[in-house]
Structure 1
Amino acid sequence: MAVKAATTMDRRTGVALWRQIADRIRQGIAAGEFGEGGRLPPETALAERFGVNRHTVRGAIAALVQEGVLRAEQGRGTFVERRKRLSYPIARRTRFSEGLRDQAQDRRGHLLGETREDADTRVAEALGLQPGAPVLRVETMSEADGRPVSCATSWFDAARFAGMGEAIAETGSVTLAYRRHGVEDYFRQSTTVSARHADVGDLAALKLAPGAIVLVALAVNVDVEGRPIQFSETRFAADRVELAVAE
């Protein structure tokens, strides 16, 4: 079945043609335009439709295969990988492990790095600190059943949460790391969601191909007394996770 997503390539944007084609194929998948079998048209048909050569189409398909969006079967063609996306709930009590409890057997977080820095205006405002106050910048990656699903950059008040990165590394959980710092419970105060192409760091951490889309959630968590304890930017692999906002 032909791709019904937009097929006009813009050669003036500086965005590689193969990446534009990969995005068009993603749009077609999201719109359910490949039928129940999920088989893509031959490379020659796609090349003609998009007005490019087969090599460019092949590059787009290879990137999507690497990412796990498509699968190539020798002698049969290329098919949409029908793995169901995880549904990650965003609610007043948002927890990674609890949110995916019924969807993945093994859920864990990994510390990628921790640095100490001075809070810029945005971070200071979110955490209720003065600009320039010391904060911990913690980079993490979360996976479900061995598959990376999100990576996050979080900021914590360095005075209150000294050693937060080490606690996350040892427990594999932000919630358990909080408990080591006397925070038994916490709540989501706000969440703002947007989308963009994954940057170089996200591509590596989430094992994505160039051109992949990530959902970006900016969030502030507060303790039971309403004091901000965490400002975070979490990037979710859009082909693996959907965000479900609870009322």
Structure 2
Amino acid sequence: MTLERRDGVALWRQIAETLESDIKAQVFAPGKQLPTEAELAERFSVNRHTVRRGIAFLEQEGLLRVEQGRGTFVQERMVDYKLGKRTRFTENIEKQSRIPSGELVRAIVVSADETLARNLHLRKGAPVALIESVGKVDGRPISVAAHHFPAKRFPEMIDVYKKTRSVTKALAHYGVADYTRKETRITARLPTASECRLLELPRSQPVLVTESINVDAEGRVVEYGWGRMAAERAQLVVQP
């Protein structure tokens, strides 16, 4: 395909318009990788610098994302992740007619450090069940969550979780029929090497970090957790 030079319309702009039309026509579906710069340069009979300008424009417009070392991808629809009195990953995603799934990263018993002891109302060194998992939407990872539970109150929590594959069902096993969010703190930073691997993110893309406390009907802390969410794939919606 050879682009025709049009008065007042740069070649890179024509490339951007063509790729945008391709995206709208589902030639390149959300999440799909575009051809390489070299392949696009050959397609449009231009140099790679011209292709790069067109891609950079579409990236600024939010239609594409460029991942260092991986390539250029069509941006997926943003997930609205709601934080409210009851925050449940599966429920949040299913309400948006999307498919939630998860992958267990690790499940171990650790000794409470100062932070865990303070937030779980335990003595320092007390056993804590740690369950860390990756949350996925339509098969693509969007978050890494670490859940901490007082092991004395919830003995064998790890085994129960592995059977139920659900924090809500695991807590129900111990008689906690409902739990609510007491507080959530939100910050942002660049991802660690581990988070880049789990979330399939480049080091230049930030993550939203949440720190939360959940309590039972009597106000007792049942879970202290923190999550790291890919900022380019989800936005946090705080509800009263």
The alignment's TM-score, normalised by the length of structure 1, stands at 0.68
Offset of residue 239 of structure 1: 1.0
Amino acid at match of 1:226: G
| Structure 1 residues 82 and 182: alpha-carbon distance in aligned structure 2, compared to 1, 3 A threshold | same
| Structure 1 residues 204 and 169: alpha-carbon distance in aligned structure 2, compared to 1, 3 A threshold | farther
Query: 2:128 touches 2:149 (CA, 8 Å); kept in 1?
Result: yes
Q: Show the counterpart of 1:163.
A: 156
Q: Give the distance between the partners of 2:168 and 2:207, measured in 1 at CA.
A: 24
Amino acid at match of 1:166: D
Q: Indicate which of 90, 111, 128 corresponds to 2:83.
A: 90
Query: 2:109 touches 2:127 (CA, 8 Å); kept in 1?
Result: yes
Q: What SS class does the counterpart of residue 100 from structure 1 fall into?
A: helix
Q: Show the counterpart of 1:133.
A: 126
Which stretches in structure 1 are left out of the alignment for 5+ residues? Answer: 1-33, 49-59, 72-80
| Structure 1 residues 110 and 164: alpha-carbon distance in aligned structure 2, compared to 1, 3 A threshold | farther
Which stretches in structure 2 are left out of the alignment for 5+ residues? Answer: 1-15, 24-36, 38-46, 54-64
Q: Give the distance between the partners of 2:133 and 2:172, measured in 1 at CA.
A: 18
Q: Give the distance between the partners of 1:164 and 1:110, measured in 2 at CA.
A: 17
Offset of residue 166 of structure 1: 2.7
**Does 193-202 or 110-119 show the bigger shift?**
110-119
Q: What SS class does the counterpart of residue 123 from structure 2 fall into?
A: coil
Give CA deviations for 1:68-105 in whole Å, capped at 9, x if unaligned.
xx43xxxxxxxxx2421100000011111111222244
Q: Show the counterpart of 1:206.
A: 199
Amino acid at match of 2:85: R
Give CA deviations for 1:227-247 in whole Å, capped at 9, x if unaligned.
001111100111111100002
Q: Give the distance between the partners of 1:131 and 1:185, measured in 2 at CA.
A: 27
Query: 2:112 touches 2:128 (CA, 8 Å); kept in 1?
Result: yes
Q: Give the distance between the partners of 1:37 and 1:99, measured in 2 at CA.
A: 30
Give CA deviations for 1:131-187 in whole Å, capped at 9, x if unaligned.
121111221111122111111122110111222223333222211111122211000
Q: What SS class does the counterpart of residue 179 from structure 1 fall into?
A: helix
1:146 equivalent to 2:151? Answer: no
Q: Give the distance between the partners of 2:108 and 2:100, measured in 1 at CA.
A: 25
Give CA deviations for 1:6-33 in whole Å, capped at 9, x if unaligned.
xxxxxxxxxxxxxxxxxxxxxxxxxxxx
Amino acid at match of 1:112: V
* Alignment map for 1:95-110 (pairs within 5 Å): 95-110=88-103
Q: Give the distance between the partners of 2:110 and 2:236, measured in 1 at CA.
A: 30
| Structure 1 residues 232 and 191: alpha-carbon distance in aligned structure 2, compared to 1, 3 A threshold | same
1:63 equivalent to 2:68? Answer: yes
Q: Give the distance between the partners of 1:205 and 1:104, measured in 2 at CA.
A: 24
* Bigger Rg over Cα: 2
Offset of residue 45 of structure 1: 6.8
Q: Give the distance between the partners of 2:196 and 2:153, measured in 1 at CA.
A: 32
Q: Show the counterpart of 1:6.
A: none
Percent identical pairs in the alignment equals 32
How many pairs align? Answer: 190
Q: Indicate which of 104, 116, 122 corresponds to 1:111.
A: 104
| Structure 1 residues 131 and 103: alpha-carbon distance in aligned structure 2, compared to 1, 3 A threshold | same
Q: What SS class does the counterpart of residue 236 from structure 2 fall into?
A: strand
Q: Give the distance between the partners of 2:67 and 2:200, measured in 1 at CA.
A: 14
Q: Give the distance between the partners of 2:102 and 2:227, measured in 1 at CA.
A: 13
Offset of residue 46 of structure 1: 10
| Structure 1 residues 178 and 109: alpha-carbon distance in aligned structure 2, compared to 1, 3 A threshold | farther
**Does 97-106 or 180-189 show the bigger shift?**
97-106
CA root-mean-square deviation: 2.8
* Alignment map for 1:167-206 (pairs within 5 Å): 167-206=160-199
Give CA deviations for 1:203-235 in whole Å, capped at 9, x if unaligned.
121122232211000000001110001111100
Q: Show the counterpart of 1:21.
A: none
